Amino acid sequence: MPMHKIAVLGGDGIGQEVTPEARKVLEVVGRATGVSFEFETALVGGAAIDATGDPLPAATLALCERSDAILFGSVGGPKWDNLHQEKRPERGLLGLRKELDLFANLRPATCFPMLVDASPLKRDVVEGTDIMVIRELTGGLYFGEPRGREEFADGGARAINTMAYTSREIERVARVAFEVAMKRKKRLASVDKANVLVVFEHVLVDNCAMALVHKPTHFDTIVTENTFGDILSDEAAILAGSMGMLPSASLGGRVALYEPVHGTAPDIAGQGVANPIAAILSSGMLLRYSLNRGQDADRIDAAVVRVLEQGHRTRDIHAGGMKLVGTKEMGDLIAGEVERSYS
């Protein structure tokens, strides 16, 4: 059986609490299937700044480069908010994206049937929503040149940003999107503001923003530019109800990175109450997209659904009549269901 090396970068705040639960689930998959995982942890973000002065120490980058995939938590917190831009915790994540050429960000937004009422949309609109937004992550408006600010002699100013893409940048993200759509329901919408990307369904970004709240079940896989993807993936995320439920993947070069969409949640960090489901679903995406083990990922997704069906809830998704559990307990319950699914 192959051995897979996984870099575990918990980061800060609840990143440190939810990442071990995701690792626990992967260990269960390893024991059940005979696949061996070698986990190695490293510092990133604020924790790395405290220890080394650098949000992405060379040793962490080197570990990621020699791993098969990265399980990432989240970085940041009030303690480091006043540092210079270049030395802030998020530079750890941005540095990894750049160094590992992670140009495609996969953001699934699934509305779990038993959490429909947590969505701001009406049940009949949102029920059955299962969307994958693929956001181009390293080009477009955030990086295009020329960019900057010009000051005029009369006291006025002009700011310039350029949305530029090379055909190579578009082709490679389109290729990822087609491959992902093939693993899903084989429907792909290319969202743009001018019809220049791939064939299939072309949707203008303003129409897409409207359709996501009007008829989200229309979409399967969506591929779009960096800024549009930033906005649309957050809009799609809201459909799912809670920040604690949303996984993500960033693909591109040889090593991909998997992380919950949420941040370090300083308001609840250290209390053992954070929802680990986003991190656990991220470990499922790791199996699906880095290790081509879609059936094991399906078992993780199904185990999450079963634990929710049994009425277990962390505080963020808790409602009357449900059983309140903490981070570790939720991780144990899901790991237990994954284990049972193999027996």
Provide the annotated active-site residues. Answer: 142, 193, 206, 230, 234
Stretch that binds ligand NAD, among 214-222, 268-276, 293-301, 303-311 (CB under 6 A): 268-276
Q: Which range touches ligand NAD (CB under 6 A), out of 71-79, 116-124, 163-171, 216-224?
A: 71-79
Among 60, 67, 190, 275, binds ligand NAD (CB under 6 A): 275
- Rounded CA-CA distance 86/84 in Å is 6
280 contacts ligand NAD (rule: CB under 6 A): no
DSSP β-ladder status, 157-160 and 148-151? antiparallel
CB closer to ligand NAD, 326 vs 336: 326
Beta carbon nearer to ligand NAD, 133 or 208:
133
Q: 3-class DSSP state for residue 92? A: helix
- Tell me: does residue 47 bind ligand NAD (CB under 6 A): no
- CA gyration radius, the chain: 20
Name the 3-class secondary structure at 105: strand
Are the C-beta atoms of 171 and 206 separated by less than 8 Å? Answer: no
Residue whose CB is less far from ligand NAD, 30 or 244: 244
Q: Interface with ligand NAD includes 263 (CB under 6 A)?
A: yes
Tell me the closest approach of the beta carbon of residue 81 to ligand NAD, in angstroms: 7
Q: What CA–CA distances, in Å, run from 114 to 100, 127, 282, 342? A: 37, 10, 20, 24
CB 109 within 8 A of CB 90: no
Name the residue with the smallest CB distance to ligand NAD.
Answer: 263
- Taking the CB of residue 107, how many other CB atoms lie within 10 A of it? 23
Q: 9 to 38, contacts with ligand NAD by CB under 6 A? A: 14, 18
Q: Look up residue 286 and give its amino acid.
A: L
Q: Are strands 69-74 and 36-41 parallel, antiparallel or unpaired?
A: unpaired
Strands across the sheet with 221-224, in order? 36-41, 3-11, 69-74, 256-260, 247-251, 104-110, 130-136, 221-224, 188-192, 201-204
**Out of 76, 108, 229, 247, which residue is the one contacting ligand NAD (CB under 6 A)?**
76
Does 274 help bind ligand NAD (rule: CB under 6 A)?
Answer: yes
The distance from CA 43 to its chain's CA centroid, rounded to whole angstroms, is 19
Cα separation of 258 and 105, whole Å?
10
Q: Write the single-letter amino acid at 195.
A: N
Tell me the closest approach of the beta carbon of residue 79 to ligand NAD, in angstroms. 9
Beta 247-251 vs 256-260: how paired, if at all?
Answer: antiparallel
Identify which of residues 96 and 188 has a Cβ nearer to ligand NAD in the complex.
96
User: Residues in contact with ligand NAD, total (CB under 6 A)?
Assistant: 22
Q: Which is nearer to ligand NAD, 232 or 265 (CB)?
A: 265
**Residues of this chain, 284-343, that bind ligand NAD according to CB under 6 A:** 316
Any contact of residue 264 with ligand NAD (CB under 6 A)?
yes
Q: Which residues pair with 324 in a beta bridge?
A: 313
Site pattern 210..249 for ligand NAD (x: CB under 6 A):
---------------------------------xx-----
* Dist CA 243 CA 192 (whole Å): 26
For ligand NAD, which residue of 25, 61, 93, 285 counts as binding (CB under 6 A)?
93
User: Binding to ligand NAD by residue 266, rule CB under 6 A?
Assistant: yes
Q: Which is nearer to ligand NAD, 262 or 293 (CB)?
A: 262
**Site residues (vs ligand NAD, CB under 6 A):** 14, 18, 74-77, 90, 93, 243-244, 259, 262-268, 274-275, 278, 316
